[in-house]
Amino acid sequence: MPEAKITIRDLYLRYSDGKEALKHISLDIQPNAITVVFGPAGGGKSSLLKVLNRLIDLSDVEEMSGEVRMGKLDILERGLDVVGLRRRIGVVFSRPIPLPLTIFQNISFGLEVAGMRDKDELRARVEKALKQAVLWEEIYDRLDDPAASLSGGQQQRLCLARVLALEPEVIMLDEPTSALDPVSTAKIEEFLQEAKKDYTILLAPHNQQQAARMSDYAAFFLQGELVEYAGGSDMFMNPKDKRSQDYVQGRFG
Amino acid sequence: MIEYPQYKKPFYALSKQNSQKVGFSFIRLITLVTILPILGIIAYIVFKGAGSITWEFLTAMPSDGMRAGGILPAIVGTFYLMIGTAIFSIPLGIAAGIYLSEYAADNRWTRLIRIAIVSLAGVPSVVYGLFGLGLFVLFFKFGISILSASLTLSIMTLPVIISTTEESLRSVPYRFRVVGVSLGGTQWQTIRRVILPQALPGIVTGIILGLERAVGETAPILFTGATFFLPHLPGSPMDATMALPYHIYVISTQVPGMPSGIQYGTVLVLLAFVLGMNLIASLIRSRARARRQW
Amino acid sequence: MKRSERFIANSIKIAGSSSILFILLIFFFLVKEGLPALGEVSFKNLFSLRWYPIEELFGILPLISGSLVVTLTSILIALPLGVGTAIYIGEIAPKKIKEILKPTVEIMAGIPSVVLGFIGIQALSPFLRTFLNLPTGLTALSGAILLALIAIPSIVSIAEDALYAVPNSYRDASYALGATQWQTIWGVVMPSARSGLMTAVMLGIGRSLGETMAVMMVTGNAATSFAGLKSIIMPVRTMTATIASEMGEVASSSVHYHVLFFIGIILFIFSLIINISSSSLQGKTKQEKGQVVS
Ligand SMILES: Nc1ncnc2c1ncn2[C@@H]1O[C@H](COP(=O)(O)OP(=O)(O)OP(=O)(O)O)[C@@H](O)[C@H]1O
Ligand SMILES: [Mg+2]
């Protein structure tokens, strides 16, 4: 096994309403692979993703402890440069949320706030990102239109593109296809399969089929516990834990 | 066929439907009584004042103890006061609105700020005048001046600008903030590039309405900056100034033998000033609403 | 980058807290200039029935009663009109009419009080004098009517918000029980909107109590002592009008000057009580954060 991209040790998270969302999780996330984080609602999948790029800072948290590292970087450190972290770990949300700006500006936003000023450079990066997200062909002639004028599927690929534009190391996707039709879903899945050679990908899947289809590794979360962590095929063909067995075979959830 | 005697309700016992009809008519009447006087007043002022509005009236100095000539110094003075008020109240009000909407935690200090804003909004205008006299005119020794009056009006206008700014910012969906931050924007970058532009029309509307009120106020400038008569235009912020509202007060109560044409003309100018601002504010608001993407 | 971010956040925080500073400053300067009055004028004099500053008679009771008479009368007029109009706009009016009425009410709010005062002098007072056959038209009633015009817009808009906040499910439940719209308005909507309507009334009172120019121009400015119901058709002098009309003529730091500031303190405290208590009646709005990551 190659060295893990992100190591999580004994991660514990409790929101200020007393809800324990993550109960002492330990997990190694492998580079250049798709790690699927799945399980029934409320299991803590989104919470885990929020911790990894510190979007959790926007929530009311009572206690967060343990250790999360990406290389030398201590992700839970208090004085961490969270802005830098978020550029390295991008996230796509379950619902397409284009910023109320133009298509171009949606993608250039992350670059501009990072200090990129050069117009040509911005243009090149925007184009590259749109091509990566397989969106360029459809919209290259209306980059200055409002992003809201795109279809839902296009919007979600735009959201993907603006993450890619930052050239992150890790891409997290939280049920990215839950609001999309099958064709748009297929486009995104196709992209992910292609992209894993360059990125570390974390995916909270939209359903079991997607989980099984996409996973190189899979982590099963149940009420804040990491029940089982295994290679994708092992998890879905031959789960070890009784609870993951039941869930994978559709006996509860 | 047998004719049954029909039960007839006495005329005063209204059915449910009829009592609703009567009730609605009553409410409509009340609304008319509320609205008509204002429309009547505006129409009356336009009718009586329009004849006096000439180029000379708007651009000449008053003459013959203000009984003739124009009202230029009052117009210019009101304009200066508006600018002065805008300079102080807009940056401070917007910043405070941003603070309350984006930065403030839900704690005791924030609640205290809110109480302070509510209190400021309720302070009677004449009390603002006293305060301005005490602080700016006498303590800071700015004297009776445009500066003192503008500062006084600014503080009076502040709560309006703060509240509308906060409200407009809050109406921008939270998810945009999350996205902005997730893309590596700092909180301020996200606010400035994404949230503020969306809230801007609402903020501008609030500013205009706040300034509209400031422009029409008399009591706060009575002892801080307004003067009865000025034979020239104010030359610096340290000069006292004439102003439309105060001028109206003066020519309708203090100067005997004022020709009513000049009185109504002056009132019409102030009214046009204020209603014009109101109109601009509504236009901005309705255009922004039509364009909004969320 | 990080330092500028912190600088901006800190500036915004300071601006956010400025309201607290201002309200304290207002209080401080009122007290600084007004409290000496208590040392210079005997209690007996200050709370006597005679306001005659030239002879060092500083009885503020007639001024307080003048303010109360005018304010209460104005609320008696403004309340039914304002709430009725709000009911019409919020519950009854077809959409088109609503879209005309709302801006009209806003325009009403924008009319400067000095303009209303002017109309009061020109039209209202002469009318009331002949209509009620009074020796003078400059009475508490004239002031109260103008004040009602000033208070109505705020009453309408707050009352309308209160009605709007009543969930539609309440109305539906009432219709399901066979109630008419009229019965629903009185039986269900109004009671549910009670605290909002209370707020509307209190803020209306606040507006009226603090209003200066319109009142000063039409109430005749005689410091009469309270004479029961008859006070309504007699000239009166309110606290605000007293400050506004006399402050310009007193030497600063004279006894009279201090007493005028002392009246300012009273007004300030009244307004604080009204505004803070009515804002605590109102529920606060919090931004819905929503689920972005879920
Ligand atoms: N901001 C928050 N404040 C308080 N509790 C929260 C917050 N966000 C999530 N929770 C709670 O933490 C638990 C885990 O939530 P999380 O969103 O991580 O689950 P999930 O596995 O992503 O679920 P889903 O499949 O529904 O997306 C849930 O019980 C949820 O109610
Ligand atoms: Mg989730």
- The answer to whether C179 and C109 are in contact (CB under 8 A) is no
CA atoms within 13 A on the CB side of A207: 8
What token pair was written down for B263? Answer: 């009185």
Largest CA distance in chain B: 99
3-state secondary structure labels for all residues of chain A: CCCCCEEEEEEEEEECCCCEEEEEEEEEECCCCEEEEECCCCCCHHHHHHHHCCHHHHCCEEEEEEEEEECCEECCCCCCCHHHHHHHEEEECCCCCCCCCEHHHHHHHHHHHCCCCCHHHHHHHHHHHHHHCCCHHHHHHHCCCEHHHCCHHHHHHHHHHHHHCCCCCEEEEECCCCCCCHHHHHHHHHHHHHHCCCCEEEEECCCHHHHHHHCCEEEEEECCEEEEEEEHHHHHHCCCCHHHHHHHCCCCC
User: CA-to-CA distance for A84 and A71, rounded, in angstroms?
Assistant: 14
Spacing, Cα A7 to ligand 2 middle (Å): 21
Spacing, Cα A91 to ligand 1 middle (Å): 17
> How much of chain B is helix, strand and coil, in % rounded to 5?
75, 0, 25
Average pLDDT estimate for A47-53: 96
Tell me what pLDDT residue B294 has.
77
User: CA-to-CA distance for A208 and A40, rounded, in angstroms?
Assistant: 10
CB contact under 8 A, A100 and B294: yes
Spacing, Cα A21 to ligand 1 middle (Å): 6
Tell me what pLDDT residue A166 has.
96
> How does pLDDT run across C60-88, given as a tens digit for each residue?
999 999 999 999 999 999 999 999 999 99
Pocket test for ligand 1, best of A47, A203, A220, A226 (most atoms within 8 A of CB): A47
- The answer to whether C74 and C142 are in contact (CB under 8 A) is no
> How does pLDDT run across C101-141, given as a tens digit for each residue?
999 999 999 999 999 999 999 999 999 999 988 888 899 99
CB-ligand 1 contact for A43 (6 Å cutoff):
yes
CB-ligand 1 contact for A205 (6 Å cutoff):
no
CA angle B81, B155, B276 (to 5 degrees): 45
Tell me what pLDDT residue A200 has.
96
Q: Which residue of C has its CA nearest to B93?
A: C15
Q: Which residue of C has its CA nearest to A174?
A: C293
Where do the domains of chain C lie, and which CATH numbers do they carry? 35-293 (1.10.3720.10)
CB-ligand 1 contact for A18 (6 Å cutoff):
no
Tell me what pLDDT residue C134 has.
86
> How does pLDDT run across A80-102, given as a tens digit for each residue?
999 999 999 999 999 999 999 99
CA distance C10 to chain A (A): 18
Torsion of CA B256, B262, B266, B271, to 10 degrees: 110
Asked if the interface predicted TM-score (ipTM) of this complex is over 0.90, the answer is yes
What token pair was written down for A228? Answer: 């089982």
Nearest to A213 by CA among A203, A200, A224: A203
CB-ligand 1 contact for A206 (6 Å cutoff):
no
End-to-end CA distance of chain C: 31
CB contact under 8 A, C115 and B16: no
Tell me what pLDDT residue C288 has.
56
Tell me what pLDDT residue B4 has.
57
Residue type, C43: F
Q: Residue whose CA is closest, atom 24 of ligand 1?
A: A41
CA distance A2 to chain C (A): 30
Percent of chain A scoring above 90 in pLDDT: 85
Ligand 1 nearest atom to the CA of residue A44, by list position: 18
Tell me what pLDDT residue C48 has.
87
B226 three-class SS = strand
User: Which ligand has the nearest atom to the CA of A93?
Assistant: 2
Flag whether pLDDT at C157 surpasses 60. yes
What burial class does residue B77 get, using C-beta atoms within 10 Å of its C-beta: 0-12 exposed, 13-18 middle, 19+ buried?
Answer: buried
- Please identify among residues 212-251 of chain A the ones whose CB lies closer than 8 Å to any CB of chain C: none
Contacts of B147 (CB under 8 A, 6+ apart): B84, B136, B225, B237, B238
Residues of A in contact with B169 (CB under 8 A): none
CA distance A235 to chain B (A): 31
Q: Residue whose CA is closest, atom 12 of ligand 1?
A: A21
| Correct CATH for B69-291 of 3.40.50.2300, 1.10.3720.10, 2.60.40.4070, 3.90.930.12 | 1.10.3720.10
User: CA-to-CA distance for A124 and A173, rounded, in angstroms?
Assistant: 25
End-to-end CA distance of chain B: 68
CB of B261 within 8 Å of a chain A CB? The answer is no
Tell me what pLDDT residue C222 has.
78
CA angle B147, B151, B156 (to 5 degrees): 150
Per the DSSP assignment, residues forming a β-bridge with A29 are A6
What token pair was written down for C265? Answer: 């303190």
Tell me what pLDDT residue C135 has.
86
Place of tokens 């102080």: B88
What token pair was written down for A37? Answer: 């984080």
Nearest to A19 by CA among A49, A58, A59: A59
CB contact under 8 A, C293 and A50: yes
CB of B44 within 8 Å of a chain C CB? The answer is yes
- The answer to whether A91 and A174 are in contact (CB under 8 A) is yes
CB-ligand 1 contact for A59 (6 Å cutoff):
yes
How many helices (H) and strands (E) are present in chain B, helices listed first?
12, 2
Contacts of C6 (CB under 8 A, 6+ apart): none
Tell me what pLDDT residue C1 has.
54
> How does pLDDT run across C254-285, given as a tens digit for each residue?
999 999 999 999 999 999 999 998 888 765 55
CB contact under 8 A, C292 and A91: no
Average pLDDT estimate for A119-131: 96
Beta strand pairing call for A73-74 and A170-174: unpaired
Percent of chain A scoring above 70 in pLDDT: 98
Which residues in B52-69 are b (16+ Cβ under 10 Å) and which e?
bbeeebeeeebeeebeee
What burial class does residue C72 get, using C-beta atoms within 10 Å of its C-beta: 0-12 exposed, 13-18 middle, 19+ buried?
Answer: middle
Tell me what pLDDT residue A1 has.
58
Tell me what pLDDT residue B3 has.
59
Tell me what pLDDT residue B82 has.
97
Name residues of chain B where pLDDT drops below 50. none
User: CA-to-CA distance for A176 and C166, rounded, in angstroms?
Assistant: 37
Tell me what pLDDT residue C173 has.
93
> How does pLDDT run across A216-237, given as a tens digit for each residue?
999 999 999 999 999 988 889 8
Identify which of B31, B130, B223 has the shortest CB distance to residue C84.
B31
What token pair was written down for C238? Answer: 């309110």
Flag whether pLDDT at C292 surpasses 70. no
Tell me what pLDDT residue C286 has.
53
Chains that touch B (3 or more CB pairs under 8 A): A, C
Tell me what pLDDT residue B13 has.
63
